[in-house]
Chain A
Amino acid sequence: MASLLSVLVIAIALSLPVGLYLGLSQLQSFSRQISSAPQLSIFLGLDGDSNDAAAIDKRLSAHPDVGTYRFIGRAQALSDLKRSAGMADVLDDLKQNPLPDAFVVTTRSNRPETLEALRDEAKGWPKVAHVQLDSEWARKLDAALRFGRSVVAVLGVLLAAALVAVTFNTIRLQILTRREEIEVSKLIGATNPFIRRPFLWFGALQGLAGGILAWIIVAMAVHLLNRDLRVLAELYSLSFRLAGLNLPDAIGLLGSSALLGWLGAWLSVTRHLWQVGRQ
């Protein structure tokens, strides 16, 4: 019974960082997807005409840093916008098209310096009203997520220590109930490894059971969260859902939980043997 409770405590301690890790790593890969091809958007002034657009087109085609680019005319931009996310009603009320002509530019290299240099250069071109680096918010998100990951790492270390402590205590209680067995075994020639072995097995198995339960808890949480997440994602016209632990991560979780349990047990038995040996 006490051991079942320990397994539960271990599972909860593990599922917290594992769940956070899952969520963060998937947000991160999502944000990488977006920012993987950083783009520059060059917006022309509303007073610009097709000649101005052609002039920019010429500059871009001659520019050494520019990889690909495409022109989005104001009429096309408006119809694109009408198609997306229930904007049609709002846009139909407008007397004139508020959108400018635009170029979407992909550079040859993804280095931020190149992008920023091109942005600054394009700002100076005639009839260019605004230049925007589209990947900037994604990079900020990425940095924020990286911070989140360090938080998870710190949390993980703390809760790993908790797992060791929980195992240490369970094994200590077990040792108390098996004191005589240990004493008699030592008197008739048991080595310390012989005495440690069953406790180490127990600690490792208890950790493993905690790991498996944590896996189940995370899987259930992902399942529950995905229901609400789907609604949220649909509102933003995104398809984003959490996946459960993949196999290497799951093996890592089970392996490290078993190892930490083993470590807690080892510390506990070794401490006891040391105390007995001193008498």
Chain B
Amino acid sequence: MISLSHVFKRYAGGFEALRDVTVTIEGGELVLIMGHSGAGKSTLLKLMAAIERPSSGTVLISGQNVAKLRPAALPFLRRRFGIVFQDHKLLYDRSVFQNVLLPLQIAGFDGRDAARRARAALDKVALLDKEKAMPITLSGGEQQRVCIARAVVHRPAVLLVDEPTGNLDEAYARNIVELFGAFHQVGVTVVIATHDRSVAEQLPARIIQLGQGRVAA
């Protein structure tokens, strides 16, 4: 469960990305955060993943107040999330397989078990035949699927997705969104930030509408 109450987020320079946001996401929910670019969707996701801290207000993740967490405990909190980044954030100096392996290495899985899980995740996104490829040789959509495989490989309880359909053609986008639906089906909490109306039409999700840093009623 992720719960934000009266959260404000101001960046250096005075830009106020979020204003008095109160949102609760229950375990197992499928939630869309919708709004125009600049509405604060990405910021909201970053606060939910404890990547950023609120300027004021409280963020509770599984009952833990992020602001009061020791810095050393933060990495363990983050391992509960899988994050699909808008810009993928793949490492271009290692293969697809190595990219997907990274979260397991970080979590300390042993080699053989990790390799098995990494292949299973690649299979799920239909990229098993590209495991030895370098990310730079893949298309944008394929790179995003690598990012998804990396986000789910350690079986996180929560999947946070930032603008998944941004620069994909329609058929490809439907495919990807379907994939998130499937993860939700097996019990993963899925939160997707998007400006794309068609995602809302495709998924039976609760919608949180953001506008200029505020939650619209």
Considering the chains assembled together, what is the distance between the CA atoms of A186 and B85 in angstroms?
14
Q: Which stretch of A69-77, A90-98, A187-195 is in the interface?
A: A187-195
Is residue B14 within 8 Å, beta carbon to beta carbon, of the partner chain?
no
Main secondary structure on B side of the interface with A:
helix
- Known A187-B51, A188-B102, A189-B107; contact A181-B91, beta-carbon cutoff 8 A: yes
**Structural contact, A187 and B76, CB atoms closer than 8 A:** no
Q: Kindly provide the distance from the CB of A93 to the nearest chain B CB, expressed in whole angstroms.
A: 85
Is residue B103 within 8 Å, beta carbon to beta carbon, of the partner chain?
yes
Annotate B63-86 by CB proximity to A: 1 below 8 A, 0 otherwise. 000000001100111110101010
Q: Kindly provide the distance from the CB of A275 to the nearest chain B CB, expressed in whole angstroms.
A: 14
Considering the chains assembled together, what is the distance between the CA atoms of A6 and B93 in angstroms?
24
Considering the chains assembled together, what is the distance between the CA atoms of A237 and B34 in angstroms?
95
Residues of A within 8 A of B102 (CB): 184-185, 188
Residues of A within 8 A of B71 (CB): 277
**Structural contact, B79 and A189, CB atoms closer than 8 A:** yes
Q: Kindly provide the distance from the CB of A186 to the nearest chain B CB, expressed in whole angstroms.
A: 7
Q: Within the complex, which residue of B51, B72, B85, B89 is in contact with A191, where a contact is CB–CB below 8 Å?
A: B72
**Structural contact, B75 and A189, CB atoms closer than 8 A:** yes
Size category of the binding interface on chain A: 10 to 19
Residues of B within 8 A of A194 (CB): 75, 106
**Structural contact, B106 and A187, CB atoms closer than 8 A:** no
Closest to B99 in A: A184
Considering the chains assembled together, what is the distance between the CA atoms of A69 and B171 in angstroms?
110
**Structural contact, B103 and A189, CB atoms closer than 8 A:** yes
Q: Within the complex, which residue of B72, B78, B93 is in contact with A188, where a contact is CB–CB below 8 Å?
A: B78
Q: Within the complex, which residue of B79, B91, B103 is in contact with A180, where a contact is CB–CB below 8 Å?
A: B91
Main secondary structure on A side of the interface with B:
helix
Q: Kindly provide the distance from the CB of A66 to the nearest chain B CB, expressed in whole angstroms.
A: 73
Residues of A within 8 A of B78 (CB): 187-189
Considering the chains assembled together, what is the distance between the CA atoms of A191 and B72 in angstroms?
7
Considering the chains assembled together, what is the distance between the CA atoms of A32 and B91 in angstroms?
63
Residues of A within 8 A of B89 (CB): 180, 183-184, 187
Annotate A152-195 by CB proximity to B: 1 below 8 A, 0 otherwise. 00000000000000000000000000001101111111111010
Residues of A within 8 A of B81 (CB): 189
Q: Within the complex, which residue of A183, A185, A187, A192 is in contact with B83, where a contact is CB–CB below 8 Å?
A: A187
**Structural contact, B91 and A190, CB atoms closer than 8 A:** no
Q: Within the complex, which residue of B75, B77, B85 is in contact with A190, where a contact is CB–CB below 8 Å?
A: B75
Q: Within the complex, which residue of A183, A188, A192, A277 is in contact with B79, where a contact is CB–CB below 8 Å?
A: A188
Closest to B94 in A: A181
**Structural contact, A189 and B106, CB atoms closer than 8 A:** yes
Residues of B within 8 A of A191 (CB): 72, 75-76
Closest to B79 in A: A189
Considering the chains assembled together, what is the distance between the CA atoms of A180 and B78 in angstroms?
18
* 21 examples of A-B residue contacts, CB within 8 angstroms: A180-B89, A181-B93, A183-B89, A184-B89, A184-B102, A185-B102, A187-B51, A187-B85, A187-B89, A188-B83, A188-B102, A189-B75, A189-B76, A189-B77, A189-B79, A189-B107, A190-B75, A190-B106, A192-B72, A194-B75, A194-B106
What are the 3 closest A-B residue pairs judged by CB atoms, nearest first?
A: A189-B79, A189-B78, A191-B75
Chain B interfacial positions (CB closer than 8 Å to A): 51, 71-72, 75-79, 81, 83, 85, 89, 91, 93, 102-103, 106-107, 150
Q: A185-B102, A187-B51, A277-B71 are in contact. List 11 more A-B contacts (CB 8 A).
A: A180-B91, A186-B75, A187-B85, A188-B83, A188-B102, A188-B150, A189-B79, A189-B103, A189-B106, A191-B76, A192-B75
